[in-house]
Amino acid sequence: AQSVTQLDSQVPVFEEAPVELRCNYSSSVSVYLFWYVQYPNQGLQLLLKYLSGSTLVKGINGFEAEFNKSQTSFHLRKPSVHISDTAEYFCAVSDPGGSYIPTFGRGTSLIVHP
């Protein structure tokens, strides 16, 4: 069974500062990893994904994440955030050899202050 832990329920940060949203997973098999963003009253939008290959993944809106197999982590980073990045961020993991149905973390609320 897979699980995802997002250690921070809320991350406040000032505009133009860097940010890291943490995600750790547990799985006995290889994994696919995803980060989604959800703006208020909207569905999920894929930010980036790791399926294979380079462990550093670049996504939309200037976000990137690094897959670290030894630490079972997939932390999301952005060097300089904007007010418009304020949203809920979900990390998810799925099993490439199984049903591909992702397991989601509880989410991290990124709050960008002016």
Partner 1 sequence: GAVVSQHPSWVICKSGTSVKIECRSLDFQATTMFWYRQFPKQSLMLMATSNEGSKATYEQGVEKDKFLINHASLTLSTLTVTSAHPEDSSFYICSAKKAGAQREQYFGPGTRLTVT
For partner 1, give the closer residue by CB, 54 or 99: 99
Instruction: Scan for tokens 């989410």, then name that residue.
Output: 107
Q: Which residues 62-91 are close enough to bind partner 1 by CB under 8 A?
A: 90
The beta strand positions in the chain, using DSSP E, are 3-5, 10-14, 19-21, 24-26, 32-38, 44-50, 56-58, 64-68, 73-78, 87-94, 103-104, 108-113
Q: Which residues 8-27 are close enough to bind partner 1 by CB under 8 A?
A: none
By CB under 8 A, tell whether 101 contacts partner 1.
yes
On the 0-12 / 13-18 / 19+ scale of CB atoms within 10 A, 37 is: buried
For partner 1, give the closer residue by CB, 70 or 101: 101
- H-type helices in the chain, by residue range? none
By CB under 8 A, tell whether 102 contacts partner 1.
yes
Stretch that binds partner 1, among 17-25, 55-63, 79-87, 93-101 (CB under 8 A): 93-101
Q: How far apart are CA 10 and CA 8, in angstroms?
A: 5
- Of 44, 61, 66, 77, which lies in the binding site for partner 1, with binding defined by CB under 8 A? 44
Residues that bind partner 1 (CB under 8 A): 32, 34, 36, 41-46, 49, 51, 90, 94, 96, 99-102, 104-107, 109
